[in-house]
Amino acid sequence: MGTEPSGPLRLLRETHEERVLTALRTRGALTRAQLVEHTNLSRATLSSIVQTLLGRQALTETGEEASTGRGRGRPVSLLTLNPAGGLALGLDLGHRRIQVTIANVAHEAVASGEVACAERTPWPRRLRLALDLVDDLTTRYEISLTALAGVGVGIVGPVDEATGASNDRVALVRDTLRARFGVPVFVDNNTRLAALAEAVWGAGAGVSSALYLRLSYGVGGGLVLGGRLFAGAGGAAGELGHISVDRDGPACPCGGRGCLERYVSLTTLQEQCADILDARDATARDLLVDAGTRVGEVLAAACNTVNPEVVVIGGELAETGDHLFDPLRAAFHRYTHSQVRRTARLTRAALGHDAAARGGIALVLTTTPQEASRP
C-alpha cells in the first residue's frame, strides 16, 4: 500500500486512466456501471482508477442523481471530467444564422448566442460576426478562453478535404480561427455536426450508432458510429439526400440522377403547395404521404446497411409530425430487414438552432488530444 506502481504496471495504469478519461470526454456524464461498459475494465479496476482520478481532481462526482430507470430507484452518482479542465468552442456559420456555443469538458453549455446574417454574406464577414459574438459572450458571462481545448466549426456545403473542392473556404475558416485562438480547429459540414450533436446530447444521447436525416430546403444527413462522426473516404458519408429514388429522374448537381432531395426538399414541396408545413389541406397531406413514403424507403435501405440503434429525423419538414411520420414509419417497416427493424428506433430530432454549434463542441471532445496534435 502507498507505493506507486512502476515500469509496465504503471504504463498499464496510465492506459486504463486514459480509457476512463476518453470515455468521459466523448460521452459526458456516466455512471460507474456505464464506465465499465464503455472502457471494458473490470469493476474493481475501474473503481480504483476512478478513486485515483477523483483524488487528482481530474474528475468530479455529482452525487445522488435520479435513478437511470432500471434497478430499484437507488440513487446513482454520475462522474464527469472536472468542468474546470477546459472549454470547447462550437460555431455554426449557417446560411442565414451564425451560432456560437461554449461548453466545458464536462459537456455543460456555459454560454450560447446567435446573430442573423443575409444569405449571401461573404465568408470573411461571417467569421467577423462569429468572432464578435464570441467576444460578446465571453465578456457577458466572464468566461476566460485560456483553457480552450479546441474549436469545432460547421459550415454549409460539402467539406471534402480529399478533393479540395471546398478548400478555400475551409482554409480561411481554419486559419482565421487558429490564428485567433491558437488551438486545434475542426471544420465539417453543419448538417453532419447536427448529427453528431443529436447522438451526444439529443434524441440519440448515449447510443453508439445513429443515422441522422435533415429534411429542410436541402436534404442532408450524417452517420455516427462508435460515438464518433463517420466521415467516409471523401468526407461524404451520410449524404442521404443524394440516394437515387428514380433512375430516370432529373440530373442533380451532385452528379447523380433522381436524388431524394429533388423530391422531398422543402424547396420542391413548397413549389407544389406553399402551405405544406401547415398540412391543413388535402394537397399538403397527400404530398406529405408521398414524401414520407420516399424517405421511409431510403431510410430502410440505409438502415439495412448500417443497422443503427437510432434514426433521428430533423429539419422543418419533421415538424409536420404524424402527417410525415405515419407514412414514413409504414414504408420503413415494409422495407427493413426484420432484425434491423427490431433494433432501430425512429425519432424526431431533439435539439434546436444550436445543434450544429453543439456538434462542433462534440467534434472537439470526441477527437482525442493525440489526434488533434497531428498536423
Residues in contact with Zn ion by the rule CB under 5 A: 242, 252, 254, 256, 259
Count CB atoms within 10 A of the CB of residue 320. Answer: 20
The Cα 327–Cα 85 span in angstroms is 47
Whole-angstrom Cα Rg for the chain: 22
Report how far apart the first and last C-alpha atoms of the chain are (Å, whole number): 42
The Cα 350–Cα 127 span in angstroms is 27
CB nearer to Zn ion: pick between 254 and 330: 254
- Minimum distance between the CB of residue 331 and Zn ion, rounded to whole angstroms? 20
Nearest by Cα to 262 from 274, 276, 279, 245: 245
CB nearer to Zn ion: pick between 14 and 246: 246
The Cα 18–Cα 49 span in angstroms is 10
CB nearer to Zn ion: pick between 250 and 321: 250
- Phi, psi torsion values for 101, nearest 5 degrees: -135, 140
- Minimum distance between the CB of residue 241 and Zn ion, rounded to whole angstroms? 7
- Minimum distance between the CB of residue 265 and Zn ion, rounded to whole angstroms? 11
- Minimum distance between the CB of residue 326 and Zn ion, rounded to whole angstroms? 27
Q: Match 405544406 to its residue by C-alpha cell.
A: 276
Torsion angle in degrees (nearest 10) through CA of 35, 36, 38, 40: 150
- Minimum distance between the CB of residue 259 and Zn ion, rounded to whole angstroms? 3
CB nearer to Zn ion: pick between 88 and 299: 299
- Minimum distance between the CB of residue 366 and Zn ion, rounded to whole angstroms? 28
CB nearer to Zn ion: pick between 83 and 256: 256
Q: Which residues lie closer than 8 Å to 352 by C-beta, 6 or more apart? A: none
CB nearer to Zn ion: pick between 12 and 251: 251
The three three-digit cell numbers of residue 183, written as one number: 488551438
CB nearer to Zn ion: pick between 205 and 236: 236
293: part of which helix (H) or strand (E)? Answer: helix 282-306
The Cα 104–Cα 1 span in angstroms is 35
- Minimum distance between the CB of residue 218 and Zn ion, rounded to whole angstroms? 10
Q: Which residues lie closer than 8 Å to 99 by C-beta, 6 or more apart? A: 90, 91, 92, 112, 113, 114, 353, 354, 356, 357
CB nearer to Zn ion: pick between 109 and 254: 254
- Minimum distance between the CB of residue 160 and Zn ion, rounded to whole angstroms? 15
